[in-house]
Structure 1
């Protein structure tokens, strides 16, 4: 069986992963009356856990976040919700609909760099588990793209050989990482080109 392995942010979700963190930081700075540099300095000194490679650390992260910025629990909750809105963006409905249409023709899976809590937030918003299995997140794997271990773990969970997988990502580094593992990869730029590449792969 052939598999289509998808990244999330910038592919299944309409969001610019390169700009939203900075936009969010600027929004928070203005909200709290701090300069961006002061905000970052406080967070850098807070010994925040790495949420991208660990699970179960989100509450600690936000508790330390609130203490570092000297804000109330209600303010922390509002900023936490703001982060997830920025992180998740909007569903790429065209690509998700195409993925649904592939059931029975290909296995469908996700491999995404992520933050602790992403599975719950994306499931609540987009119901990814109704389309994709397995869903491999970096914060649960303890390893992130483009490290070879991320792709090899995904292959193991899919029960697939590298040559039977097409990986889709919107960043050059993760695409190259997949190719080093023998996985064919597509750099996502627009839905039409990506869908055409998927169809070519399945027709081979």
Structure 2
């Protein structure tokens, strides 16, 4: 293992900082926007293009809010979303720091649009803990597409077998394995030591 790739949502980041509940739990109470309406009018029709970088989020979200929540500004909603979807798994982050000190490169590999990717690195401070972020809007492909893994592998200049990947979506894990990555299906309660043990043992036996 030379490179460790880590998914964001469901692995490193999970819900609201205060309680871990989904970020939109109190969206209607706080901002007057029903979650189901936002899902139906924005995420279902437009998210595929936004998350793969074919369309910026701000103009489309502004247009949708004009129809479903004219009282609400896009920037207000984005700030609410990002701030309430930012609970870090500090134990995992600490364990990753130990691995990084051994010389293994750490990267985030995630489906994100441009604004939240920047928020994660700059505002949430993950740039201090990782060597970089690879995300769907940057490449025009999202997990589990094989092109996502191909482009990330080319970017780091490594062989697929040198990459270990943690993700909480089984479809993504299977796609990564198909490409040649050593992918681990991350589940609740798992520790980093357990997740990467098979691959560190291989290194020790070489």
- Fold match (TM-score > 0.5): yes
Question: Which position in structure 2 is the counterpart of 1:58?
Answer: 57
Under a length normalisation based on structure 1, what TM-score does the superposition of the two structures give?
0.80
Counterparts in 2 of 1:106 and 1:31: CA distance versus 1, 3 Å: closer
Structure 1 contact 163–184 (Cα < 8 Å) conserved? yes
Structure-2 separation of matches of 1:116 and 1:155: 20
User: Residue 82 of structure 1: CA displacement?
Assistant: 2.1
> Quick one: distance in 2 between partners of 1:105 and 1:192?
23
- Could you state the TM-score of these two structures normalised by the residue count of structure 2? 0.79
User: 1:91 — aligned with what?
Assistant: 88
Q: Shift of the alpha carbon at 1:89?
A: 3.0
Trace 1:1-204 onto structure 2 (pairs within 5 A).
Answer: 2-15=2-15, 20=22, 23=24, 27-28=27-28, 32=32, 36=36, 43=42, 50-54=49-53, 57-72=56-71, 75-86=73-84, 88-103=85-100, 104-190=102-188, 192-204=190-202
Q: Retained in 1: the 8 A contact 2:7–2:166? A: yes
After TM superposition, the runs of 4+ consecutive aligned structure 1 residues lying more than 6 A away are 44-49
Distance of 1:183 and 1:146 partners within structure 2: 13
Deviation at 1:10, TM superposition (A): 0.8
For structure 2, the residue ranges without an aligned partner over 5 or more in a row are none
* Secondary structure of the corresponding residue to residue 151 of structure 1: helix
Q: Identify unmatched segments of 5+ residues in structure 1.
A: none
